[in-house]
A = this chain, B = another copy of it.
Amino acid sequence: MADVAARAGVSRALASLVFRGQPGPSPRARERIWQAAAELDYRPNSVAQMLARNRSKVIGVLLTVGDPFHAQLVEAIYPAAADYGYDLLLGAHIPSRDERTATEALLDHQCEALVLLGPITQPKLLANLLARVPVVVVGPRPRGTNVDSVQTAIGKGVRQAVDHLVGLGHRAIVHIDGGPYQAAALRRSAYRAAMRWHGLDDQVRIIPGDYTERSGADAAETLLHEPHLPDAILAANDLSAIGALNVLVRARVDVPGDVSIVGFDDNPLSQLRHINLTTVRQDAQRMGQLAMEVAVDRLEGRRSMRQEIVLQPTLVIRATTGQRPLPAEDLETASGTVRRTV
């Protein structure tokens, strides 16, 4: 910057003002300085800026590379951050790198706030982070902590899905689980509650899973080895629903003729014509924007109380759910059954 100032024949301070767009410098000076900067191909050194103003204007995002839902969120968060004048730094949450390492790395790079997409599973770590910077969790708030969070009303979504299935006449509705995550636990208990509400306590059945396509496929294989298929499957997310769907289709099971399937998330894959999965939609776009908004509100001191934003899910009815199969004697009629497709 010294060079630029020299070339423009002004002081470094003036140049600094110009680059930051502060009022003060005369139009003439501005012109000269920008000119000089262009000639020298000057780029402000952001590290020096950070050091001097003790602000980085950078927010860290912890995500799981390869997770399609996270990808959607990131695509929403980037522009939102830019709107607020913040820059984003991504950190990956991968097996070989524990949560602590990942978050510390982000903080070392002077992130002023953290947005956690893949939830931190250690409450102690979260508390520790929270003591240092604003943190926003996208997803259900871990129990025992008081981070800000942006989440979907999961219970409501599950309830809608179960209502839909029951409305179609299904009774034996099994749940493919999502594993040890908080969000999965919520889905699981909401499933139980909804079944109970419909008087289907005795039909409750949970098959282990971990949100992956593989686990959905495994669950379906399990079901195929049993004498009777259930009426319907409610998966913890779209990926596992798709895994199950693919396995069933290959086994010549008619979906939704024999079994209905509902997912959760509205993964882009679910919209493909050949998948066309009925699912509970989370508004990733909006969640990303809101997460950013909450983080920035904190940073600018506009908010002190805990924020917990809950978005309403939408049941998207596509082609994997349909009427419960009719008893054998009605088979002829059955073939004329109308399927709802959106």
Is A152 close to B, CB under 8 A? no
Most chain B Cβ neighbours within 10 Å, of A50, A66, A108: A66
Task: Say whether B78 contacts A71, CB under 8 Å.
Answer: no
Given contacts A51-B47, A249-B249, contact A214 B272 (CB under 8 A): yes
Task: Say whether B75 contacts A95, CB under 8 Å.
Answer: yes
Given contacts A56-B47, A65-B63, contact A89 B92 (CB under 8 A): no
Closest B-chain residue to A87, C-beta based?
B105
Query: In the complex, which range does the number of interface residues on chain A fall in?
Result: 35 or more
Q: How many copies does the complex hold?
A: 2
> In the assembled complex, how far is the CB of residue A243 from the closest CB belonging to chain B, in whole angstroms?
7
Interface residues of A in 205-238 (CB under 8 A from B): 213-214, 217, 221
> In the assembled complex, how far is the CB of residue A70 from the closest CB belonging to chain B, in whole angstroms?
6
Interface string of A32-68 (1 = CB under 8 A from B): 0000000000010111101100001010000111111
Task: Say whether A110 contacts B66, CB under 8 Å.
Answer: no
A108 to B43, CA, bound (A): 9
Given contacts A47-B50, A78-B92, A109-B109, contact A213 B71 (CB under 8 A): no
Task: Say whether B71 contacts A96, CB under 8 Å.
Answer: no
Residues of B within 8 A of A47 (CB): 47, 50-51, 56, 109-110
Residues of B within 8 A of A50 (CB): 47
Task: Say whether A243 contacts B272, CB under 8 Å.
Answer: yes
Is A307 close to B, CB under 8 A? no
Task: Say whether B79 contacts A70, CB under 8 Å.
Answer: no
> In the assembled complex, how far is the CB of residue A160 from the closest CB belonging to chain B, in whole angstroms?
27
Given contacts A46-B109, A66-B68, contact A74 B89 (CB under 8 A): no
Interface string of A189-218 (1 = CB under 8 A from B): 000000000000000000000000110010
Is A168 close to B, CB under 8 A? no
A46 to B46, CA, bound (A): 13
Residues of B within 8 A of A87 (CB): 105, 108-109
Task: Say whether B96 contacts A75, CB under 8 Å.
Answer: yes
Task: Say whether B108 contacts A94, CB under 8 Å.
Answer: no
A50 to B109, CA, bound (A): 10
Is A28 close to B, CB under 8 A? no
| 9 further A-B pairs in the complex, CB-CB below 8 A; given A78-B94, A78-B96, A221-B273 | A46-B110, A47-B109, A48-B51, A66-B66, A66-B70, A66-B71, A75-B96, A78-B92, A246-B249
List the 6 shortest-distance A-B pairs measured between CB atoms, nearest first: A66-B71, A90-B90, A65-B71, A46-B108, A247-B274, A47-B50
- Give the B-binding residues of A (Cβ under 8 A): 43, 45-48, 50-51, 56, 58, 63-68, 70-72, 74-75, 78-79, 87-92, 94-97, 105, 108-110, 213-214, 217, 221, 243, 246-247, 249-250, 269, 272-275
Query: Can you list 23 pairs linking A and B with CB atoms under 8 Å apart?
Result: A45-B51, A47-B109, A47-B110, A58-B109, A64-B71, A65-B66, A65-B70, A66-B67, A74-B94, A78-B94, A78-B97, A79-B97, A87-B109, A88-B92, A88-B105, A89-B90, A90-B92, A109-B109, A213-B269, A213-B272, A214-B272, A246-B249, A246-B275
